């Protein structure tokens, strides 16, 4: 896997396809660019595609940083600059979607299109989450308990983080789970996984992340020149609830919404072909 030096560390990425504005695929927690392995082929016959491993994740470096949302955005910015990508189409899942929207809001002239699936479209309240999702987030955000669950027991890989029915309807093959497991052999290596659930802004906290979500919400509403695609799964729960999807339909400028069928939160594992085909069709419509 190729890589590039960024801010004293390095970020790995996959690359395929040729021509046109690049399409950049951004993963979330606890995955890596491997998440997009069966989605990218549907797009690579049309465009150059790139899929980085976020800093601290996958095959990328693990510098001694806090792994806050702002840290990830800073390293991702450096990756874009190092590769001189110019204008791109961004595709984001989970935290990759939040980072995509954040970058679009901060660099509005450098985003040609935006595709989102199972991501944080806006700040939410605890009351909006289903009880199981709320309990999961609260446990991971509790000092001591979160460390035990993630750093010691590696629950994101070995427990409900990837293999529960909420995460994937069809499960993950052992060889793919091994790819996700490999970057996190010990407690220290898992700190990026633990920080992510502590960054999600519920009831306005943490305030700095909520402010960035609010900023990209304003951009989503005020950017009719940038086509956007929201891919939804069945059933809609958690961060992509029917209420949030309805908010997006009413608020986001130039938005297409397309269902991709039954899937868990890690929808590219369950429905890679449906997602890939939907992105390819949308690229053809909006070229």
* Number of C-beta neighbours around residue 156 at 10 A: 25
Give tens-digit pLDDT for 203-221: 999 999 999 999 999 999 9
Query: Is 118 among the catalytic positions?
Result: yes
CA-based nearest residue to 137, from 74, 206, 65: 206
Q: Give 82-96 pLDDT, tens digit per residue.
A: 999 999 999 999 999
Residue owning tokens 């010691």: 152
Beta pairing partners, 186: none
Predicted pLDDT of residue 36: 98
pLDDT greater than 80 at residue 161 = no
What's the CA gap between 198 and 206, in Å, rounded?
8
Annotated catalytic residue within 53, 71, 93, 94: 94
Residue 239 has pLDDT above 80, yes or no: no
Structure tokens at 279: 């992105």
When pLDDT is averaged across residues 51-72 and rounded to a whole number, the result is 98
Tell me the pLDDT band of 166, cut-offs 50, 70 and 90: confident
Q: In terms of Cα–Cα distance, which of 149, 240, 165 is closest to 198?
A: 149
Adjacency order of strands within the sheet including 88-94: 3-6, 9-16, 49-52, 23-26, 88-94, 111-119, 228-234, 255-262
**Which whole-number Å values give the CA distances from 15 to 58, 208, 217, in the listed order?**
15, 33, 30
CA distances from 187 to 27, 110, 131, 147, 154 (A): 22, 37, 28, 9, 8
Q: Which one of 265, 266, 269, 270 is the catalytic residue?
A: 265
From the list 118, 199, 269, 270, the catalytic residue is 118
**DSSP symbols for 125-154:** -GGGS-HHHHHHHHHHHSTTHHIIIIIIT-
Domain residue ranges in the chain: 3-286
Distance CA 230, CA 161 (A): 23
- The predicted pLDDT at position 238 comes to 64
Q: For residues 192 and 56, is the Cβ–Cβ distance under 8 A?
A: yes
> What would the pLDDT profile of 260-287 be if each residue is shown by its tens digit?
999 999 999 999 999 999 999 999 999 8
Average pLDDT value for residue range 144-170: 90
156 phi, psi to nearest 5 deg: -65, -30
| DSSP-H helix ranges across 200-271 | 207-221, 242-251, 267-270
| DSSP code at position 107 | S
Report, as an integer, the average pLDDT of 145-149: 97
Which CATH architecture is the domain 3-286 placed in? 3-Layer(aba) Sandwich (3.40)
Four-point Cα dihedral 110, 208, 120, 169, nearest 10: 120
């Amino acid at each position: 896997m190729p890589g590039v030096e960024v801010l004293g560390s390095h970020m790995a990425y996959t690359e395929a396809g040729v021509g046109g504005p690049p399409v950049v695929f951004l993963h979330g927690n606890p995955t890596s660019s491997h998440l997009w392995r069966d989605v990218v082929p549907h797009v690579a016959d049309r465009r150059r595609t790139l899929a980085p491993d976020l800093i601290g994740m996958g095959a990328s470096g693990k510098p001694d940083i806090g792994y806050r949302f702002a840290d990830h955005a800073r390293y991702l910015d450096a990756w874009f600059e190092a590769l001189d990508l110019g204008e791109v189409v961004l595709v984001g899942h989970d935290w990759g979607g939040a980072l995509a929207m954040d970058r679009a809001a901060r660099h509005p002239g450098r985003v040609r299109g935006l595709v989102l699936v199972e991501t944080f479209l806006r700040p939410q309240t605890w009351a909006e989450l289903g009880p199981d999702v709320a309990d999961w987030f609260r446990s991971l955000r509790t000092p001591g308990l979160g460390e035990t669950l993630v750093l010691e027991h590696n629950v994101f890989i070995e427990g409900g983080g990837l293999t529960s029915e909420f995460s994937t309807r069809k499960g993950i093959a052992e060889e793919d789970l091994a790819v996700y497991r490999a970057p996190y052999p010990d407690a220290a290596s898992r700190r990026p996984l633990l920080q992510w659930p502590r960054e999600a802004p519920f009831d306005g906290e943490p305030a700095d992340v909520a402010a960035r979500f609010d900023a990209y919400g304003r951009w989503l509403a005020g950017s009719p020149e940038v086509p956007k695609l929201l891919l939804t799964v069945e059933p809609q729960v958690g961060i992509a609830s029917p209420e949030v999807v309805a908010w997006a339909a009413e608020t986001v400028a130039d938005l297409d919404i397309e269902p991709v069928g039954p899937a868990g939160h890690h929808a590219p594992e369950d429905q890679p072909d449906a997602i890939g085909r939907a992105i390819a069709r949308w690229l053809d419509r909006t070229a």
